[in-house]
Amino acid sequence: MADEVIAVSSDWAKRAYVDDAKYKAMYEASTTDPAKFWEEHGKRIDWIKPYSPSAVRDVDYNGDVRIRWFHDGVLNVSANCIDRHLSHRGDQTAIIWEGDDPSKSKKISYRELHGEVCRMANALKELGVRKGDRVTIYLPMIPEAAYAMLACTRIGAIHSVVFGGFSPDSLANRLVDCDSNVVITADEGLRAGKHVPLKANCDEALKKAPGVKKVLVVKHTGGKVGWEAGRDVWWHEIAAKVPADCAPEPMGAEDPLFILYTSGSTGKPKGVLHTTGGYIVFASMTHQYVFDYHDGDVYWCTADVGWVTGHSYILYGPLANGATTLMFEGVPNYPDSSRFWQVIDKHQVNIFYTAPTAIRALMREGEAPVKKASRASLRLLGSVGEPINPEAWLWYHRVVGDSRCPIVDTWWQTETGGILITPLPGATALKPGSATRPFFGVQPVMVDAEGNELQGACTGNLCLVNSWPGQMRTVYGDHQRFIDTYFRTYPGKYFTGDGARRDEDGYYWITGRVDDVINVSGHRIGTAEVESALVANTKVAEAAVVGFPHDIKGQGIYAYVTLKAGEHSSEELRKELVAWVRKEIGPIATPDVIQWAPGLPKTRSGKIMRRILRKIAENDFSNLGDTSTLADPTVVDDLVKHRGK
Ligand code: WT7
């Protein structure tokens, strides 16, 4: 069956920064002489001290793995996101904030942003934060989250944003791992009218993270909070005392900018470290070209700043480009499932970037909630976080975009810092479900399980050769883990962990993770993390967790649980374990199915055969493979017989 192809309209080819011919020329230039290409494009950023041509690119994927970009340049990210716009767009709106409550919104100009960020930077200095210190940010989607991140970059502190949906334990682990002394949080968050006790979670976490000396608290809902004098400081109180000006700290291009924890196939989440110069060049360049951002456009990315999408495409990319970026505190179905489209009309949004899981959930509600809003301002749609199935793509295109807005399906990862495989709206003919072609400077290669490079149309594992400036530099505090995770599977290549198909036109179709990572509603969860949360419960002897296809979430979490002798399975215990995992990790890790497993399929050496467990979870019993080598083949029959709903 031939894939449906949606050609670039002539309007788009004309208005966009790049058409197909220009894409091909720029791509060619970016891969034949990357140093020359990035030497030119690095200039889009203001440098306090420019990089020398010989320092543009210094990369080795072998041995200890070294990745440096623009390494003798000096710059400041907050100055690039704020100060450099003040002379000509000081009064332009930088951030439109739309509250969870539809009656609450506000606009923050670049000049106001400058004042708030400087004040927060001075507040952090008062609290003892110095260049290189780690500051953990545990905030809801309020403007102060942007101020906090930018304030860190202003003084050279390294931020670690922890998603507000994570539990006290998850927060504590992240605080300890990067040795943070200061946390910025709020009294409470709001989600669909419900209060999220952030300060209380933080207090709980701090019992396990004694290194934290100061907590800066934003008053958001006015809800009651516990208070530890000497440690806890109200943001509005300190803000009233500190000056509204703070000189940006000159930073080396390879100085750390932020840490963001993400799940892998083994062990605890790892602290992905991004540095200053390459990251901001890449975030701003991809934001401009992928979304074809022009002055005056209103741009909305619905992610949370707790994820990399929020870092690169709510904050850093857009603000470096002098954009107007919308920050949304709420959820797609509150007060009702027309909310996204109402917000688009209210703020005249031109570019809208969301996740397939949201589209699938809204698609279920039918067309009426969409049609209630005009959406006439929309020009471009985007998708990120997981593969988008063609049905959802086509609905997004036809119903939301009235068949007139191209969709950019952007593939990337926390590790990549910015978008790597994506259509460019004026250049790329679209195929529903395909992330299409590589961005400038990005060289995907497909390999088989043995690491042989595949040519032409093929299916295999997706690797990248040749670095790009936004690439992560290390795992914070564990460079060996960085090398082992990404560069050892296929020596000399960065392995993404994703499987993909490349078609006859060279288009990439990402099929999903090939490692033990599951993607639930676009959020990455390591099966190992859920397993260790389960076995931390005293009633559980053993647990094995796999992903399975889920209509709305993309993948759901399927847990096989073996109870300790003397414990009995019951609906009550099932609920208890579900609640336990939510408490240990956070609601995003809620198991969808728990199946009681008297035994797990293991090899004679004791290794759990996840492939078999995946098949059972997928309801596919036809192809369980050879089970005769298992230590106890009968456990498989039992699991098949009692497969969960
Ligand atoms: C994993 C990375 C990058 C921002 C959000 C997720 C999957 C991401 C797509 C896409 C198919 C996608 C991959 C990737 N993924 N975007 N457009 N099509 N799959 O960041 O949490 O680091 O997860 O998300 O499996 O490896 P992340």
Query: ∠ CA(581), CA(584), CA(590), 5° rounding?
Result: 30
Q: Quick check: 645 pLDDT over 70?
A: no
pLDDT at 2: 59
Q: Which two tokens stand for residue 542?
A: 């053993």
pLDDT for 614 equals 94
The DSSP result for 298-332, as a single string, is EEEE---TTSHHHIIIIIIHHHHTT-EEEEE-S-T
Residue from 166, 270, 312, 386 to probe ligand 1 pocket by mutation (most atoms less than 8 Å from CB): 386
Give residue 644's pLDDT.
73
- The whole-number average pLDDT for the span 205-211 is 98
Residue of 259, 262, 263, 384 best suited for mutating to test ligand 1, as the one with most atoms within 8 Å of CB: 384
Asked if pLDDT for residue 235 goes beyond 80, the answer is: yes
CA 413 to ligand 1 centroid distance, Å: 5
| Dist. CA 290 → ligand 1 center (Å) | 16
Q: What is the mean pLDDT of residues 303-317?
A: 98
Q: What is the mean pLDDT of residues 617-626?
A: 85
Q: Which residues contact 336 (CB under 8 A, 6 or more apart)?
A: 369
CB 235 within 8 A of CB 182: no
Question: What value does the mean pLDDT of the chain take?
Answer: 96
**CA–CA separation, 517 vs 528, rounded Å?**
8
For tokens 């050609």, the residue is 7
Which of ligand 1's atoms lies nearest the C-alpha of 513?
25
Q: For residues 516-524, give the mean pLDDT.
A: 93
Tell me how many degrees the CA angle 154-157-158 measures, rounded to the nearest 5.
120
Do 177 and 271 touch, CB atoms closer than 8 A? Answer: yes
> Which is more confident, 619 or 99?
99
Tell me the pLDDT tens digit for each residue of 147-156.
999 999 999 9
- First-last CA distance in the chain: 33
- Work out the angle at residue 91's Cα, subtended by the Cα atoms of residues 89 and 92, and round it to the nearest 5 degrees: 65
The residue whose CA is least distant from atom 21 of ligand 1 is 524
Residues 6 or more apart in contact with residue 277 via CB below 8 angstroms: 42, 45, 47, 51, 69, 70, 71, 73, 75, 252, 253, 254, 469
Rounded CA separation 628/606 (Å): 14
Q: Is the pLDDT of residue 240 over 80?
A: yes
- What gap in Å lies between CA 617 and CA 475, rounded to an integer? 32
What's the token pair of residue 113? 């942003």
Q: List the residue whose alpha carbon is closest to atom 12 of ligand 1.
A: 386
Q: Give the type of residue at 486.
A: Y
Nearest to 574 by CA among 587, 561, 589, 588: 561
* Protein residue with its CA nearest to atom 8 in ligand 1: 385
Q: Which residues contact 2 (CB under 8 A, 6 or more apart)?
A: none
Does residue 312 have its Cβ closer than 6 Å to ligand 1?
no
Smallest Cα–Cα separation from 494: which of 62, 64, 69? Answer: 62
Report residue 3's pLDDT band, with 50, 70 and 90 as the boundaries. confident
Distance of CA 17 from the midpoint of ligand 1 (Å): 26
Q: Which residues are annotated as a binding site for Mg(2+)?
A: 535, 540
User: What are the start-end ranges of the H helices in 331-458?
Assistant: 339-347, 356-364, 368-371, 390-395
Pairwise CA distance, residues 281 & 417, whole Å: 11
Distance in Å, CA 419 to ligand 1 centroid: 10
pLDDT tens for 10-24 read: 999 999 999 999 999
pLDDT band at 256 (very low <50, low <70, confident <90, very high): very high
pLDDT digits (tens, 9 = 90+) for 261-309: 999 888 889 999 999 999 999 999 999 999 999 999 999 999 999 999 9
Task: Report in angstroms the alpha-carbon separations of 424 from 15, 412, 562.
Answer: 12, 15, 49
In angstroms, the CA 10 to CA 15 distance is 9
Helix axes 110-126, 143-155, angle to 10 degrees: 60
**Which of 416, 420, 510, 518 has most ligand 1 atoms within 8 Å of its beta carbon, as the pocket-test mutant?**
510
Lowest mean pLDDT among 190-199, 264-273, 326-335, 495-504: 264-273
User: Which stretch of DSSP H or E encloses residue 237?
Assistant: helix 235-239
- Residue 368 has a pLDDT of 98
Establish whether residue 496 lines the binding site of ligand 1, counting it when its CB lies within 6 angstroms of any ligand atom: yes
pTM over 0.90: yes
Provide the residue type at 538 as one letter.
T
Give per-residue pLDDT as tens, 429-449: 999 999 999 999 999 999 999
Dihedral over alpha carbons 60, 65, 67, 71 (to 10 degrees): -90
* Pairwise CA distance, residues 194 & 175, whole Å: 26
Q: Ligand 1 in contact with 386 (CB < 6 A)?
A: yes
Cα four-point dihedral sign 545, 546, 552, 553: positive
Scan for tokens 């029959």, then name that residue.
637
What's the CA gap between 43 and 70, in Å, rounded? Answer: 10
Q: What angle do CA 213, 215, 221 make, to 5 degrees?
A: 165
ipTM over 0.90: yes
Q: Which atom of ligand 1 is nearest to the CA of 510?
A: 11
Q: C-alpha 78: how far from its chain's center?
A: 21
Is pLDDT at 603 greater than 90 in this prediction?
Answer: no
Nearest to 586 by CA among 136, 165, 160: 165
Task: List CB contacts of 416: < 8 A, sequence separation 6 or more.
Answer: 468, 470, 471, 472
For residues 104 and 17, give the distance between their C-alpha atoms in angstroms, rounded to a whole number.
35
Give the ligand 1 atom nearest the CA of 422.
17
Residue 1 has pLDDT above 80, yes or no: no
Q: For a pLDDT cut of 70, what percent of the chain falls above it? A: 100
Identify whether the C-beta of residue 159 lies closer than 8 Å to the C-beta of residue 581: no
Amino acid at 350: N
- CA gap 490, 508 in Å, rounded: 20
**Contact between 564 and 373 (Cβ < 8 Å):** no
DSSP state of 275: E
- Is 411 a pocket residue for ligand 1 (Cβ < 6 Å)? yes
pLDDT tens digits for range 368-411: 999 999 999 999 999 999 999 999 999 999 999 999 999 999 99
Give the single-character DSSP code of 193.
Answer: T
Rounded CA separation 540/563 (Å)? 5
Q: Residue 603 region, left (φ>0) first, then alpha (ψ -120 to 50), else beta?
A: beta
The Cα-based distances of 606 to 10, 248, 601 in angstroms read 61, 56, 9
For CA atoms 272, 278, 281, 287, the dihedral sign is: negative
Question: Which residues are CB-contacts of 25 (< 8 A; sequence separation ≥ 6)?
Answer: none
Q: How far does the centroid of ligand 1 lie from the alpha carbon of residue 466, in Å?
A: 20
Atom of ligand 1 nearest to the CA of 308: 4
Give 343's pLDDT tier (boundaries 50, 70, 90): very high
- Which H or E run includes 111? helix 110-126
